[in-house]
């Protein structure tokens, strides 16, 4: 058998950075191998800017961007993008919004012109507002019929508080979406979205000087937004960033959202951690890899491979500028809901006590992160996604170059330490979405308090 070849090395691309006079940052990665260009405009505004009484306002406003501008109808926007072989994507997150597209090198300038028009001059046409509203209301009315949609929505509300910036439903409620006026959409967008804190990211067969010139042409005279941006970088005061989330005080309680006749139960747990710029960010990333972040992690090996309760039972950390959270769970057969809940709670407890992170699984987690790292840069779209993450958290331009060393710098002792310092023996929230009549008797055998909630996480009893 021939010997193994030397382990290949990979160096991620280093972006070129420019800042326009109005505060807009431009990040560029030149990739001449393929005649393609991907670009995106990341704006530092998201669902956290929704008024307390109007959840879903930002999401609806961003959805409306491609529905018409001062000079183009939604049909014209769609037709022009289609002729260029491109498609315009708008996505509103909790803290940021991204408008992006990908096109051939010969067409990307035209696609950028339309994207800039959409961002700078949305008209929020009344007829289209009503059409999108009807679609959104239909989608919202169906949530109560979909356990997989109920679980993340209700868990977040229970963990952060339904009225908080991070706990309210980003897509809104039927009541809020039904009451939002066209003028409110336009006013909210005008006051919250602008060049301050925004970043224009481009990757592909481009020339950096031309990209900067195009950014100046399309965004150079864009006026800063009225709503000030909250500092989120590593040097920002932790009390000045996103709202600090109080301890929920519900640890040890099981929440049930009833879905009569459900063939499966969806179990979802949630636990608050630390903000993205905390020094223990990378140790927590590796801890999560061991706990439930990859196929061979403890949760999946237990509930899928060993017990056969689920097709997939995983965990992930939703990193934000404020208090981030780890969510875990999956779908299980209804008749083993109690057993799956027991195993979930057992995994939470054991990784902090009788079975701390082991050397072999820690090494596997490190290897998994390092070996999967190059795959994050395979396409131009993936590259602008990485650049957007740099921008979202105000990370240095060479952060990606140093990422492998950050991973290697974490020790087994670090992973065990963060389990003790930041991870709790019982999750803050444990939600089960399923047929209450079937699953409640078994869950009550666990001896924990039971609270019945609706699809939005509101207590019913």
User: Tens digits of per-residue pLDDT, 46-81?
Assistant: 999 999 999 999 999 999 999 999 999 999 999 999
Q: For position 226, what pLDDT does the model report?
A: 80
Q: For position 6, what pLDDT does the model report?
A: 87
Question: 123: helix, coil or strand?
Answer: coil
Q: Does domain 254-453 have CATH number 2.130.10.10?
A: no
- The torsion angles phi and psi of 257, rounded to 5 degrees, stand at -105, 120
Q: For position 399, what pLDDT does the model report?
A: 97
Distance CA 173, CA 55 (A): 7
Q: For position 384, what pLDDT does the model report?
A: 97
Distance CA 26, CA 432 (A): 44
| Extents of the domains making up the chain | 16-219, 254-453
Whole-number CA gyration radius for the chain: 23
Q: Same CATH fold, 254-453 and 16-219?
A: yes
- pTM of the full structure: 0.92
β pairing state of 254-258 and 450-453: parallel
Residues in Cβ contact with 325 at an 8 Å cutoff, skipping those fewer than 6 apart: 156, 159, 160, 270, 271, 272, 273, 317, 318
Q: For position 7, what pLDDT does the model report?
A: 80
Residues in Cβ contact with 248 at an 8 Å cutoff, skipping those fewer than 6 apart: 158, 159, 161, 272, 428, 429
Q: How far is CA 217 from the centre of its chain?
A: 31
How does the average pLDDT of the chain come out, rounded?
93
Q: For position 461, what pLDDT does the model report?
A: 64
Q: What is the DSSP string of 401-460?
A: HHHHHHHHT--HHHHHHHHHHH--SS-SEEEEEE-HHHHHHHHHTTT--EEEE-TTS-B-
Strand order in the sheet with 25-30: 16-19, 25-30, 199-204, 36-43, 97-104, 89-92
Helices (H), 309-355: 337-350
- The torsion angles phi and psi of 177, rounded to 5 degrees, stand at -65, -35
Q: Which residues pair with 331 in a beta bridge?
A: 266
* Nearest one of 263, 238, 444, 262 to 338, comparing CA atoms: 444
Token pair listed for 24 = 């807009």
- Residue 360 and residue 284 in contact, taking contact as beta carbons nearer than 8 Å: no
Q: What is the CATH code for 16-219?
A: 3.30.830.10
Which H helix or E strand runs over 291?
none
**What is the block-wise mean pLDDT of the chain (461 residues), using blocks of 10 residues?**
88 96 96 96 95 96 96 96 96 96 97 98 96 96 94 96 93 96 96 95 97 97 80 53 47 91 95 96 98 97 97 97 96 97 97 96 96 95 97 96 97 98 94 97 95 93 64
Distance CA 82, CA 68 (A): 16
β pairing state of 89-92 and 36-43: unpaired
Q: For position 379, what pLDDT does the model report?
A: 95
Distance CA 126, CA 394 (A): 37
Residues in Cβ contact with 7 at an 8 Å cutoff, skipping those fewer than 6 apart: none
């Amino acid at each position: 058998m021939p010997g193994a070849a030397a382990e290949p090395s990979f160096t991620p691309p280093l972006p070129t950075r420019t800042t326009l006079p109005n505060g807009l940052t431009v990040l560029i990665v030149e990739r001449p191998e393929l005649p393609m260009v991907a670009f995106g405009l990341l704006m530092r505004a998201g669902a956290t800017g929704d008024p307390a009484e109007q959840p879903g306002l930002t999401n609806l406003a961003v959805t409306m961007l491609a529905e018409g501008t001062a000079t183009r109808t939604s049909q014209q926007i769609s037709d022009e993008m289609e002729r260029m072989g491109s498609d315009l994507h708008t996505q509103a997150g909790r803290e940021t919004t991204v408008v992006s597209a990908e096109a051939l090198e010969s067409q990307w300038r035209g696609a950028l012109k339309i994207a800039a028009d959409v961002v700078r001059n949305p008209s929020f046409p009344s007829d289209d507002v009503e059409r999108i509203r009807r679609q959104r209301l239909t989608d919202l009315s169906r949530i109560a019929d979909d356990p997989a949609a109920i679980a993340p929505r209700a868990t977040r509300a229970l963990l952060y508080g339904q009225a908080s910036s991070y706990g309210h439903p980003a897509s809104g409620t039927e009541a809020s979406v039904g009451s939002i006026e066209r003028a409110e959409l336009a006013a909210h967008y005008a006051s919250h979205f602008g060049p301050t804190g925004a970043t224009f990211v481009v990757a592909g067969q481009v020339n950096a000087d031309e990209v900067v010139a195009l950014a100046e042409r399309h965004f150079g005279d864009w006026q800063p937004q009225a709503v000030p941006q909250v500092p989120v970088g590593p040097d920002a005061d932790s009390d000045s960033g996103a709202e600090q989330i109080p301890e929920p005080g519900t640890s040890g309680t099981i929440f049930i959202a009833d879905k009569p006749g459900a063939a499966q139960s969806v179990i979802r747990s949630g636990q608050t951690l630390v903000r993205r710029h905390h020094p223990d960010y990378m140790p927590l990333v590796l801890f999560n890899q061991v706990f439930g972040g990859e196929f061979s992690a403890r949760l999946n090996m237990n509930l899928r491979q060993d017990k056969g309760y689920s097709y997939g039972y995983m965990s992930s950390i939703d990193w934000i500028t404020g208090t981030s959270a780890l969510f875990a769970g999956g779908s299980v057969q209804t008749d083993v809901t109690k057993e799956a809940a027991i195993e979930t709670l057992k995994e939470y407890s054991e990784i902090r006590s009788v079975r701390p992170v082991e050397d072999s699984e820690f090494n596997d987690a490190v290897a998994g992160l390092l070996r999967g790292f190059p795959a994050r840069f395979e396409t131009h779209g993936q590259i602008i996604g990485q650049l957007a993450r740099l921008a979202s958290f105000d990370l240095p331009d060479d952060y990606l170059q140093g990422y492998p060393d950050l991973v290697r710098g974490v020790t087994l002792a670090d992973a065990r330490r963060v389990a003790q310092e930041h991870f709790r023996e019982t999750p803050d929230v444990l939600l089960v979405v399923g047929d209450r009549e079937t699953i409640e008797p078994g869950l009550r055998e666990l001896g924990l308090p039971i609270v019945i909630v609706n699809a939005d996480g509101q207590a019913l009893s």
